[in-house]
Amino acid sequence: MRDGKPRTRAELIQLTGLARSTVGARVDALLGTGLLAPSGEAASTGGRPPARFAFNPDARVVIGADLGATHAIVALTDLSGRVIAERAEPLDITLGPKPVLDRVVRTAKALLRSAGRRQDELAGVGIGLPGPVEHSSGRPALPPIMPGWDDFDVPGHVSSRLGGCPVLVDNDVNIMALGEHATIYPEVDHLMFVKVATGIGAGIISDGRLTRGAQGSAGDLGHVAAPHGGDVRCTCGNVGCLEAVASGPAIVRSLAAQSVDAGDSRGLISLAKSGDTVATAAIRDAGREIGEVLATCVSLLNPSVIVVGGILAQAAESLLAGIREVVYRRSLPLATGDLQIVAARTGDHAGVIGAATMVIQHALSAEQVELALTSSA
């Protein structure tokens, strides 16, 4: 019933194939939790018109938090993912887990108060972090730009300060993939979201579900060997990684070697937008390097859509041109016949919407709904 269509008890019996008594008991239980609500009446076929019921997205609320190296966006949403309220704040991830997470908690409580919602209405909290995360535990795993965060119990720390509600944690690229998929491409079953910024990573949607792999590290494109990576040292300790030659900082270093001072990734984007041909060519070359790796991904995963996000996607024309040039040339026609390679459309909101979506999918899973019904009974 999450499709939003109101249905009667008779329609639910027909839809599910369950006995009338079973459907009646489930409807009553769901009404008790607030997940179902009355939604008018159906046309009468004789006698009293039957009541319709529909999924109630206002029954609970969700907190989604997207944490970057220098910023945080925290949003309060309903169970459909609609943003009720949000705040964006500067935040230094290097301060460590407790100061950063405590600030997120304070912001979450403020959003609840501003919306007039109670803490016990919170279905859960979703958090995206700018580094590797073991999704099953929610603990960061040797994140390179997050000193002091390794193996920290992020879910336990946040949950203890928000009444014990569920807390789910994932890396920022995965939640961006969830956000872009839920908002822009809900009908697409096979999608890759590629983030090109300080690092390079991908979130993989396969058969409509996010694929995380055995330990949650699926999609780590940045540390795949680039075809032209040479002996350039990467932050991971290896040489020749894609991130070392095609990320924002890598392009800035490449330009510096040509006596062009971009400063940082934002400066690089400004140069490209102003028409600087050297910066534009460097971004397109980076797109080609990324395209070499993505061509292999296209052959393995056969996505329908590749969405490119992150700060470098602001130079979409040059970056996408380089990626498309290589992917369409290197991949077989069967894999690329209907393949779209496009810039992200959710902007800064992909992560926070994805973090909320991660919690909503968990909260409305069959297991969690059954648990809620049992607790209510």
Alpha-carbon dihedral of residues 364, 65, 353, 3, nearest 10 degrees? 10
Tokens of 197: 């910024």
Rounded distance, CA 127 to CA 134, Å? 13
Measure Cα distances from 69 to 171, 194, 247 in Å.
12, 18, 15
pLDDT for 41: 52
The better pLDDT of the pair 244, 316 is held by 244
| Mean pLDDT value of segment 132-152 | 92
The domains of the chain, with CATH numbers, are 7-58 (1.10.10), 60-176+352-376 (3.30.420.40), 186-344 (3.30.420.40)
pLDDT for 103: 96
- pLDDT of residue 324 exceeding 50, the answer is yes
| Mean pLDDT value of segment 344-358 | 92
Rounded distance, CA 218 to CA 119, Å? 34
- pLDDT of residue 144 exceeding 90, the answer is no
Percent of the chain with pLDDT strictly greater than 70 = 90
- Cβ neighbors of 56 (< 8 A, separation 6 or more) are 34, 35, 36, 37, 79
Mean pLDDT, the chain, rounded, equals 89
pLDDT for 52: 75
Tokens of 110: 């403020």
SS3 state at 194: strand
The 8-class DSSP code of residue 247 comes to S
| Single pTM value for the model | 0.86
| Mean pLDDT value of segment 135-159 | 94
Nearest to 64 by CA among 127, 141, 129: 127
pLDDT for 1: 47
Measure Cα distances from 161 to 16, 20, 130, 372 in Å.
40, 43, 22, 21
Are 323 and 287 spatial neighbours (Cβ–Cβ below 8 Å)? yes
pLDDT for 29: 73
pLDDT for 200: 93
The pLDDT tens digits of the residues spanning 77-122 come to 999 999 999 999 999 999 999 999 999 999 999 999 999 999 999 9
Are 320 and 308 spatial neighbours (Cβ–Cβ below 8 Å)? yes
pLDDT for 135: 87
Using CB atoms within 10 Å of the CB of residue 31, give its burial: 0 to 12 exposed, 13 to 18 middle, 19+ buried.
Answer: middle
Confidence grade of residue 370 (pLDDT, cut at 50, 70, 90): confident
The better pLDDT of the pair 370, 59 is held by 59
pLDDT for 317: 86
- pLDDT of residue 231 exceeding 80, the answer is yes
The pLDDT tens digits of the residues spanning 26-77 come to 677 777 777 777 765 555 455 555 677 677 889 899 999 999 888 899 999 9
Nearest to 357 by CA among 64, 1, 35: 64
The pLDDT tens digits of the residues spanning 8-34 come to 666 666 666 667 776 677 677 777 777
| Mean pLDDT value of segment 298-309 | 95
Are 276 and 261 spatial neighbours (Cβ–Cβ below 8 Å)? no
pLDDT for 94: 94
- pLDDT of residue 180 exceeding 90, the answer is yes
How far is residue 83 CA from its own chain's centroid?
15
pLDDT for 8: 66
Rounded distance, CA 232 to CA 239, Å? 5
